């Protein structure tokens, strides 16, 4: 039986270990109420998050108390616990942060040697990011060199101007075709929203980075080769639905663990635009279910 999202995320993580979950909001993977010895980091206190998500019809009781508020200072500055955690979980977080290299470095500092960083990452081919270009190591390095704490105006513009949808859908599991796509905003609307962002100076939460599994592997291996990171690959689950799963282990011997040739990863990232067989099969089944369901409604 295929592993669930939670099982993939918690792969290699012991419930008795001490961990940190970042940005859990209303769907924590390692919930305190389920007995996990975990602290929670987010951009706001629990009560503020409950008010925010109440407008979405979310049950506020699902949002657990927040232990650490992360602001422009960054993750490590907000927590300041060197080598304290056995694991860190961040589901659908890294694509939002202004400076992913610094985010990964902060996670590395917070983890004990041998600790696990478990990431769930959206695959750009199966969501509203599909028309945006794949992010590169150079893109992430530029943000790191600039020590970004907020998104550049151009990134915000692209987030709106290239935001795609299929009908009313923002994710389309397994269906990486371009059929039925439309833009969510006109170019004028995107510019107006960007101007508002510039004028107010308020942080805007957008997908600033786009990945496919092979490009993400390549970026992390590049950062290890550049001696910026000390993570080795611990587990990897290819895209199912619209996301893939990566477990990284903090290790002093990380460089030797990255064995996939860089050129091979680059070719696979560009040559497999439709995703893996498993993700395509899941998409086919999803479309069949929709059509069957639609047919039933018509009868």
User: What confidence tier does 176 reach under pLDDT thresholds 50, 70, 90?
Assistant: confident
Q: What is the pLDDT of residues 229-286, one digit of tens each?
A: 999 999 999 999 899 999 999 999 999 999 999 999 999 988 755 544 444 455 555 5
Q: For tokens 């940005």, what's the residue?
A: 23
| Cα–Cα separations (whole angstroms), residue 92 to 21, 73, 96, 236, 291 | 12, 20, 8, 16, 29
pLDDT, residue 298, reads 35
Q: What is the pLDDT of residues 205-219, one digit of tens each?
A: 999 999 999 999 999
pLDDT at 13 over 70: yes
Of 232, 3, 22, 230, the C-alpha closest to 119 is: 22
Give the Cα separation of 128 and 126 in Å (integer): 7
Q: Which domain holds residue 241?
A: 5-298
User: What confidence tier does 2 reach under pLDDT thresholds 50, 70, 90?
Assistant: confident
User: What confidence tier does 292 reach under pLDDT thresholds 50, 70, 90?
Assistant: low
CATH number at residue 286: 3.40.50.150
Does residue 73 come out as left (phi exceeding 0), alpha (psi in the -120 to 50 range) or beta? alpha
pLDDT, residue 1, reads 76
- Average pLDDT estimate for 122-145: 96
Higher pLDDT pick, 6 / 294 = 6
pLDDT, residue 270, reads 84
Q: What is the pLDDT of residues 17-66, one digit of tens each?
A: 999 999 999 999 999 999 999 999 999 999 999 998 888 888 988 999 99
- Average pLDDT estimate for 131-140: 96
pLDDT at 165 over 60: yes
pLDDT at 76 over 50: yes
Domain count along the chain: 1
Of 162, 116, 109, 167, the C-alpha closest to 135 is: 162
Give the Cα separation of 123 and 222 in Å (integer): 20
Q: What is the pLDDT of residues 79-89, one digit of tens each?
A: 999 999 999 99
């Amino acid at each position: 039986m295929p592993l669930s999202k939670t099982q993939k995320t918690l792969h290699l993580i012991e419930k008795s270990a001490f961990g940190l979950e970042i940005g859990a909001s209303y769907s924590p993977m390692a919930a305190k109420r389920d007995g996990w010895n975990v602290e929670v980091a987010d951009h706001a206190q629990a009560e503020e998050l409950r008010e925010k998500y109440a407008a979405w019809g979310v049950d506020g009781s699902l949002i657990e108390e927040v232990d650490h508020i992360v602001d422009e200072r960054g993750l490590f500055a907000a927590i300041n616990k060197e080598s304290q955690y056995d694991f860190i979980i961040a589901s659908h977080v890294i694509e939002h942060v202004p400076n992913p290299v610094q985010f990964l470095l902060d996670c590395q500092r917070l983890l004990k040697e041998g600790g696990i960083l478990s990431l769930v990452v959206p695959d750009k081919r199966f969501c509203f990011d599909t028309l945006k270009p794949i992010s590169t190591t150079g893109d992430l390095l530029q943000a790191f060199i600039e020590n970004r704490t907020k998104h550049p105006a151009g990134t915000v513009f692209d987030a709106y101007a290239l935001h795609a949808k299929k009908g009313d859908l923002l994710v389309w599991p397994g269906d990486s075709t371009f059929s039925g796509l439309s833009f969510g905003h006109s170019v004028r609307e995107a510019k107006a929203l960007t101007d508002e962002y510039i004028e107010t100076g308020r942080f805007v939460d957008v997908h600033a980075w786009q990945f496919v599994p092979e490009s993400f592997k390549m970026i992390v291996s590049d950062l290890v080769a550049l001696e910026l990171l000390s993570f080795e690959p611990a587990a990897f689950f290819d895209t199912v639905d619209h996301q893939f799963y990566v477990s990284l282990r903090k290790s002093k011997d990380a460089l030797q663990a990255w064995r996939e040739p860089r050129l091979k990863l680059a070719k696979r990232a560009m040559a497999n635009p439709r995703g893996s067989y498993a993700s395509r099969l899941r998409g086919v089944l999803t479309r069949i279910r929709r059509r069957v369901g639609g047919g039933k409604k018509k009868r």
